[in-house]
């Protein structure tokens, strides 16, 4: 159950890492971590009256444009974790949300900053939060977690390594690929496989939505201690990822 603290500016929830969240080494998959970040963000907004249905009635929807994570230790199967999330405020059309995952003893396992925009449901045109009268989420004004550059600087040229059809199970209620799926694509197309690799940082830029029936062309380029990956469809770039190990 999600609990509101500090006059609603902080939301917390205790979770257990289930077997279906984990890979064959009993490590929590990156996509599972992203799902919990997504769920507690949605729950925080809902408790403040900014749930999906309320936004939709006002022709609004939150869309994520970038997610950054620092993974200090990968959570393991059956661990009990505490998720804490808060809205850091807005900058122009972008809203910043920070989330931290710790153990019961306070060990920090993961911290994350997500960058979101508010868009019209009807045509996905960007809506400034200051113009959306229903946007009433209390925030902490100062950054708390480590931050990285605002934009990813991916190499212009990468090697094509495969194709990824977009299927029914990739799609969420916004009728496009759920943001968590891109972490699975990263792991599935990792050059040399994921065996023996543990992510240290993960940055995903969501450039353009992918829809059911699309086929993504996957490109990659290894770099110092990590990897760049890009997905493209017939309309152009879809996503870019940078990760380190």
27-39: average pLDDT: 97
42-58: average pLDDT: 86
Q: d(Cα 48, Cα 30) in Å, to the nearest integer?
A: 28
pLDDT at 134 exceeding the cut of 60:
no
| Residues above pLDDT 90, as percent of the chain | 68
DSSP characters over 226-238 = EEEEEEEETTEEE
112 confidence band (pLDDT: 50, 70, 90): very high
pLDDT at res. 195: 92
Q: pTM of this prediction? A: 0.92
Q: Which ranges of the chain does DSSP label H, i.e. alpha helix? A: 30-47, 52-57, 181-188
Of the candidate ranges 38-42, 92-96, 106-110, 177-181, the one whose mean pLDDT is the lowest:
92-96
Q: What is the pLDDT of residues 183-215, one digit of tens each?
A: 999 999 999 999 999 999 999 999 999 999 999
pLDDT at 133 exceeding the cut of 80:
no
Residue 52 near residue 42, CB atoms below 8 Å:
yes
Dihedral sign, Cα of residue 195, residue 201, residue 203, residue 204? positive
pLDDT at 174 exceeding the cut of 90:
no
Q: d(Cα 197, Cα 218) in Å, to the nearest integer?
A: 20
Q: What is the pLDDT of residues 211-220, one digit of tens each?
A: 999 999 999 9
91-104: average pLDDT: 91
DSSP characters over 172-198 = -TTSSB-TTHHHHHHHHT-TT-STT--
127-136: average pLDDT: 66
129-157: average pLDDT: 72
**For the chain, which domains are there?**
3-131 (3.10.129.10), 159-244 (3.10.129.10)
| Residues above pLDDT 70, as percent of the chain | 93
Torsion of CA 230, 235, 236, 240, to 10 degrees: -30
pLDDT at res. 56: 82
């Amino acid at each position: 159950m999600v609990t509101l603290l500090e006059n609603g500016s902080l939301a917390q929830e205790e979770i257990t890492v289930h077997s279906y969240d984990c890979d064959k080494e009993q490590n929590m998959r990156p996509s599972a971590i992203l799902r919990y970040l997504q769920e507690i963000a949605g729950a925080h907004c809902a408790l403040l009256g900014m749930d999906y249905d309320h936004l939709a009635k006002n022709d609004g929807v939150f869309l994520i444009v970038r997610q950054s994570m620092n993974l200090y230790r990968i959570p393991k199967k059956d661990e009990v974790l505490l998720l804490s999330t808060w809205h850091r405020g807005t900058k122009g059309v972008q809203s910043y949300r920070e989330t931290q995952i710790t153990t019961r003893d306070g060990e920090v396992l993961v911290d994350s900053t997500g960058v979101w925009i508010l868009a019209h449901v009807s045509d996905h045109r960007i809506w400034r939060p200051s113009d959306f009268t229903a946007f009433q989420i209390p925030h902490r004004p100062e950054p708390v977690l480590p931050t990285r550059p605002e934009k990813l600087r991916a190499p212009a040229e990468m090697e094509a390594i495969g194709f990824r059809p977009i299927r029914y199970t990739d799609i969420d209620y916004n009728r496009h690929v759920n943001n968590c799926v891109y972490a699975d694509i990263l792991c599935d197309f990792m050059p040399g496989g994921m065996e023996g690799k543990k992510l240290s940082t993960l940055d995903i830029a969501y450039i353009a939505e992918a829809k059911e029936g699309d086929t993504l062309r996957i490109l990659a380029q290894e770099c110092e201690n990590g990897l760049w990956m890009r997905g493209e469809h017939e309309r152009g770039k879809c996503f870019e990822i940078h990760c380190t190990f």
